[in-house]
Amino acid sequence: EASLRGAGRNVTWRGVQSKRASIGVRYRQGGDWLLDPMVVQVGDSYVQGSYSRKPTRDYRFLLKGFLRPEEINPWMHREVRPEETNSSRDDWWTRLWHDFELGLAMPAGDFDVAGRWHDPGGNHRKVFGSAEFRSISFRKMPVKTGRVKIVTDSNRTIARNLELILKRGWVKGEMSWGNGLGKSGSIDTNFSLKGAVAPSDCVDVLGPTARKTLLQFKSEKTIDFQAEGVTRPDENSTNYDVEANGTHPLRYANIPLDALAFELHRRGRISKVENLTFQFAGGFAKGSIVHKELDGNPSLGVNVTLIGAKRERTIEALRMSKVFSLSESNDTITSEFPGDREETQENDRSVLDFTLKAEGNPNNLLSFEGNGTFNLQDPNLGSIRLFGPLSEILRANPLPLPMPSGSVNFTRLAATYALDRNRTTFDNLSVASSTALLRGKGEMSLQDSMIDFEGRMYLLGGLTSKIPIFGKIADAIDPLSGFLELKLSGSLEDPKWSMNFEPKLLFDK
């Protein structure tokens, strides 16, 4: 047995050059080596511990200190023999830290690293340890402080008891990385996490497809979540499930939402959003969304029901989002509601119910096909530019119709509609006041907002039945409807109503 102590500067051992080192060396009969104590400063890193090696080439590091991982890379990689051509399993240490960006503060670690030199498959490698860190980022997600326990073998690296305190929020759970092929990052990342995060802080955590969605969110508050699955460089093999719940105001595509909850299930290039609920424009919505991107062709399916929303808040919210804008200017929508928006929204007594089931290319609003319903009760419906001229025409009509002043103040609108790419068709549209009902059909171009609509006017004599009943009894109670036609043309911005009195239509019925 022999022993010695040594200290030096700029000493290189197994590929790592130290600024200074102090080492006690022992050699035991039979070929055992022990370096204990071992104090080494490498770059900014400072570690102390021991190193042992057996005649079988089995080794063990016990290291504790402050460490920049890349500064001891050669110690963590097995030696590659000249005759070996496949060293793809040699980068486990590099891959472990690939997704992390370290700040000025170095992680504090306590590691037990064991293995065998010249082990082609790394089958004898075992790592146990813990680390604490601050001011780092994981896939660009900013982390204030964190701690984790690391377990590694030849196949996987597992981060257990992960606890992260973010700049906004927190994350707890477990992650693991495969030690397979690939030098630009781990082959796969498995995760089981929960916490509260700001969407804009974690846009790169779940891969490129999720990034596009998360970039649409803006929230000053965190959103609670649970997530489990696996991400891979090949997004066709990426699978995960996420549950999210935001109880504070936020925006998606600049649309203001008062609350949001959903379940997201990703399987390769297909993402399904189920149990979707959100509060929007004073109303409540629920539904589902399916996004597919197969062979480079994106497809979005939407099934949404909105109940109890406010008309003016709805229009204002959609006006703010470029998702629903077909042109550079939103003047058409804005001009629907002149004056102080805050004041009009405060006095908004409307109730809007809406359904939509459609599918199309999310990059082209004019590609969608589907159908839905629209039901609006609003005492100020006549203030909308579309219906204002109609009231004026009816009041100025040359016929002695029983229309006292104010009787054509429309308060209800109901419609079923069909989307056919750039055209919306209304097969059954009703606009009603307490004494009159307009029923008809028509279509509107979504590309240029041009309108083509025609219908019949029914005078109801104060009848206040609900709209579905109107259609069944209107012909019986109003014989004038047989020859009184109304037509609407022009555009949303400049609607043009006309009345057509054709007595002969009464005999053509």
Using one digit for the tens of pLDDT, what is the confidence trace for 489-499?
A: 988 888 888 87
Phi–psi pair at 158, nearest 5 degrees:
-115, 130
Q: What span, in angstroms and rounded, lies between the C-alpha atoms of 423 and 429?
A: 16
Q: Which of 333, 335, 336 lies closest to 325 in space, CA to CA? A: 333
Residue 89 has pLDDT above 50, yes or no: no
Residue 161 has pLDDT above 80, yes or no: yes
Residue 503 binned pLDDT confidence (cut-offs 50, 70, 90) = low
**pLDDT value, residue 180:** 59
Q: Which residues are 503's β-sheet partners?
A: none
**pLDDT value, residue 249:** 93
CA dihedral 327, 333, 339, 343 (to 10 degrees): -120
For residue 144, what are its two tokens?
């204030």
Q: What is the mean pLDDT of residues 144-164?
A: 91
Phi–psi pair at 506, nearest 5 degrees:
-65, -35
**pLDDT value, residue 338:** 33
Q: Which of 318, 183, 336, 201 lies closest to 255 in space, CA to CA? A: 318
For residue 388, what are its two tokens?
């204002």
Which of 292-296, 305-309, 353-357 is predicted with the least confidence, judged by mean pLDDT?
A: 292-296
Q: What is the mean pLDDT of residues 170-185?
A: 75
Phi–psi pair at 56, nearest 5 degrees:
-75, 5
**pLDDT value, residue 335:** 34
Residue 391 has pLDDT above 70, yes or no: no
**pLDDT value, residue 99:** 81
**pLDDT value, residue 404:** 45
Mean pLDDT across the chain: 82
Q: What span, in angstroms and rounded, lies between the C-alpha atoms of 283 and 281?
A: 5
Contact 287, 305 (CB under 8 A): yes
**pLDDT value, residue 77:** 67
Residue 509 has pLDDT above 50, yes or no: no
**pLDDT value, residue 297:** 87
Q: Which residues are 173's β-sheet partners?
A: 162, 193
**pLDDT value, residue 105:** 86
**pLDDT value, residue 447:** 87
Contact 115, 105 (CB under 8 A): no
Contact 164, 171 (CB under 8 A): yes
The conformation of residue 311, written as its DSSP 8-state character, comes to H
Residue 393 has pLDDT above 70, yes or no: no
Residue 110 has pLDDT above 50, yes or no: yes
**pLDDT value, residue 488:** 87
Which of 157-161, 183-187, 327-331, 500-504 is predicted with the least confidence, judged by mean pLDDT?
A: 327-331
Residue 138 binned pLDDT confidence (cut-offs 50, 70, 90) = confident
Contact 223, 250 (CB under 8 A): yes
The residue ranking higher by pLDDT, 73 or 418, is 418
Q: What is the mean pLDDT of residues 174-188?
A: 68
Q: Which residues contact 303 (CB under 8 A, 6 or more apart)?
A: 287, 288, 289, 356, 357
Max mean pLDDT among 208-217, 387-396, 420-429, 481-490 falls in: 420-429
Residue 74 binned pLDDT confidence (cut-offs 50, 70, 90) = confident
Query: In three state form, how does the secondary structure of 17-50 look?
Result: EEEEEEEEEEEECCCEEEEEEEEEEECCEEEEEE
Q: Report helix, strand and coil shares of the chain as percent, to nearest 5.
A: 15, 50, 30
* Global pTM value: 0.80
pLDDT tens sequence across 418-453: 999 999 999 889 988 877 788 899 999 988 889 999
Residue 29 has pLDDT above 90, yes or no: no
Which of 10-24, 163-177, 238-252, 454-468 is predicted with the least confidence, judged by mean pLDDT?
A: 454-468
Contact 288, 313 (CB under 8 A): no
pLDDT tens sequence across 223-235: 999 999 998 888 8
**pLDDT value, residue 388:** 62
**pLDDT value, residue 356:** 96
Q: What is the mean pLDDT of residues 92-119?
A: 85
User: Which class for 423: exposed (0-12), middle (13-18), buried (19 or more C-beta within 10 A)?
Assistant: middle
Residue 479 has pLDDT above 80, yes or no: no
**pLDDT value, residue 87:** 46
Q: CA distances (Å), 8 to each of 34, 149, 185, 311, in order?
A: 18, 33, 36, 78
**pLDDT value, residue 398:** 54
**pLDDT value, residue 188:** 84
The residue ranking higher by pLDDT, 333 or 105, is 105
Q: What is the mean pLDDT of residues 144-154?
A: 91
Residue 346 has pLDDT above 90, yes or no: no
Contact 325, 253 (CB under 8 A): no
The helix (run of H) or strand (run of E) holding residue 73 is helix 73-76
Contact 367, 418 (CB under 8 A): no
The conformation of residue 326, written as its DSSP 8-state character, comes to S
Contact 477, 465 (CB under 8 A): no
Q: What is the mean pLDDT of residues 95-120?
A: 86
In the chain, the percentage of residues whose pLDDT exceeds 70 is 78
In the chain, the percentage of residues whose pLDDT exceeds 90 is 45
Residue 336 has pLDDT above 60, yes or no: no
**pLDDT value, residue 131:** 93
